[in-house]
Structure 1
Amino acid sequence: MKYNPKLNMIIDGNEFSYKIFETLKCVSKTWSQREAAKRLGISHSVLNRRVKESEEKLGFRLIETTGAGSGLTENGLQILNTYEKYIKRLETRDKPVICGGHISTGLMEVLADEFSLDVTIYRTDDQSALELARKDMVDILTLDDPVRAFMYDLDFTPVAYDYLVLVSNNYDPINSADDLNGKNFVEIPDSSQRLAWNTMDNIKIDYKIVKLVNSPYSALKAVQKNSDLYTFLNHSFSTGSSILKNDTQHLISLVLCNKENSVLKDFVDYITSDGQDIIEEQGFMRI
């Protein structure tokens, strides 16, 4: 079934019917109040009254006369744009949306291609992806770090195991965790790197985080350019020293948000069965 939502909206304590927003949209396209009324199937006087009543509630004009006819004022355009943003959130998506951390979405992209699933994929950090999922803007949420799945008691599906490796452009050997004393690190906030920081804190390693970046790609570039910098990245993403492997092994997981989509259910079943071969080929460990 195709759903076409009609949305009323409250502005400054006053409720406005979807009809005024449809009116503004029609006027913005036709540049004519009479033509807009005709397309909406109402009389010109009804349209005028609808606009006037809304303007009186708001205290400013929504429609103005221009050289080309009738158009929206700046305030009218702002209100219409806001309304349409909310409408887009409610409309049924033509393509499923997968959103999550950089590592897990990279894996989903490969798996979706193997499964011949046409999807839109957004890469961000786990916390931002979770916020989008809460707004019902995501069909499958993927998590690089399992901590938020447990924090928010999510009904998650384990996908793979991964662990962190130490990455640097410095050729001095790192044989044990003690060799990390005095080293400077690049951090990716809201990532599974927290496992490395927690481990070093617990064993009293004296280290410093001197640079923050928003993705593993940026972290890798930073350490490649500066031999005095170190970082921890997923083994599936980069080569490096596995000195903290046992302490940083973690789950890559997903949350099926759109449980009514049978194709997505089949996709999740594929990931946890035949897709495990692909997962292993991508440098992860099977669940």
Structure 2
Amino acid sequence: MQISVQSSQTVNGRPVTARQLEALLAVQDTGSQTAAARQLGISVPVIHKYLASIEDAAGTPILKTTPAGSKLTEAGLEIASVARSMSQRSDMDRGFTVCCSPVTEDLMMSVISSLRISGANIVVSNDEYNIKMLREDRADLAIIDDPLYLFDAEEFEMDEIGYMGMVLVDNGPSFIRYKYGAQRVAFMFLDSEDREYTIDSETFSLPELLGSNKSFFVDEYLLTRKNLRLKSAVDPKMLRHAITALYREDSRNVSRVISALKTRTQ
């Protein structure tokens, strides 16, 4: 007997089908509506129809078109995140799953590739969502950037894997907050300096952060991995924070990944 589960959503009281969600996720994965249509084996007009249905339900744009392709808006990312979450819950035979943020994404991909863990999955999101993945038993290991989250996750095993500094790009008192990294630690530093500032926007997008003309914090390690150099208004070591592995129980794969991560962050 073969049993499978497909999930749908209700957005603003309007149903969004599993097939429509599949189209949205394909666009997110490929960065192109044409490539998404090719991946799903359907025509581009059908992709457009599916996305238009989701957008009608959301009541706001879910995609933005750039010269490089198509990217999800904040609303699109929210719908896609829920879709991926429900898909993983419905997966009755998930493989070894690790969570991290964009800050450590390249590092995690390198480790998983080198260890050749069969059927491994990598989920890239913020610390709060990654801890939620652990709590719901949808992940085996999560790498947490913001050490302040550890106070709310004491039910898990913890292993410190390294330290990272943060860069402060100072363009005045108006800040844009990146959704990833140890942002709370960074802004606590400003508070300790009695500096007056406002957080006027937030973003999931590194290019949007870099092009905002506002002040912001970003992990030095992420910039290094992207071959980017930015002048910091403070020594990144002043904003040094721990990177911590959280897991429910030790296993061979968990131990191997943590050991490899430590080797690469020493």
Specify the TM-score bucket, using the shorter chain as the normaliser.
Answer: 0.5 to 0.7
* 2:177 pairs with one of 187, 190, 202: 187
| Per-residue CA distance 1:137-162 (angstroms, 9 max, x = gap) | 00111111122123322321111210
Match of 1:143 in 2: 144
When normalised by structure 1's length, the TM-score is 0.54
Measured in 2, the distance between the counterparts of 1:115 and 1:185 equals 40
- Aligned in 2, Cα 1:204/1:115: closer, same or farther, shift over 3 Å? same
- Aligned in 2, Cα 1:246/1:268: closer, same or farther, shift over 3 Å? closer
| Per-residue CA distance 1:75-98 (angstroms, 9 max, x = gap) | xxxxxxxxx979736x342x2111
- Aligned in 2, Cα 1:256/1:245: closer, same or farther, shift over 3 Å? same
* 1:159 pairs with one of 158, 161, 164: 161
Assess if the C-alpha contact under 8 Å between 1:165 and 1:234 holds in 2. Answer: yes
Residue correspondence of structure 1 range 226-265 to structure 2 within 5 A = 226-227=212-213, 229-238=214-223, 239-242=229-232, 243-259=234-250, 261-265=251-255
- Aligned in 2, Cα 1:140/1:206: closer, same or farther, shift over 3 Å? same
| C-alpha RMSD of matched pairs (Å) | 2.8
Match of 1:99 in 2: 99
Assess if the C-alpha contact under 8 Å between 1:139 and 1:256 holds in 2. Answer: yes
Measured in 2, the distance between the counterparts of 1:85 and 1:209 equals 34
- Aligned in 2, Cα 1:189/1:267: closer, same or farther, shift over 3 Å? closer
1:203 shift after superposition: 1.2
Match of 2:256 in 1: 266
Assess if the C-alpha contact under 8 Å between 1:149 and 1:155 holds in 2. Answer: no
* 1:196 pairs with one of 186, 198, 202: 186
Structure 2 SS opposite 1:121: strand
Measured in 2, the distance between the counterparts of 1:205 and 1:231 equals 14
| Per-residue CA distance 1:158-183 (angstroms, 9 max, x = gap) | 1121011023xxxxxx6xxxxx7x42
- Aligned in 2, Cα 1:104/1:247: closer, same or farther, shift over 3 Å? same
Measured in 1, the distance between the counterparts of 2:197 and 2:136 equals 38
The answer to whether the aligner puts 1:111 opposite 2:111 as a matched pair is yes
Assess if the C-alpha contact under 8 Å between 1:146 and 1:252 holds in 2. Answer: yes
Measured in 2, the distance between the counterparts of 1:205 and 1:250 equals 21
> Could you list the runs of 5+ residues in structure 1 that have no partner in the other structure?
6-83, 168-173, 175-179, 280-285
Match of 2:208 in 1: 222
> Could you list the runs of 5+ residues in structure 2 that have no partner in the other structure?
4-85, 224-228
Aligned residues: 175
When normalised by structure 2's length, the TM-score is 0.57
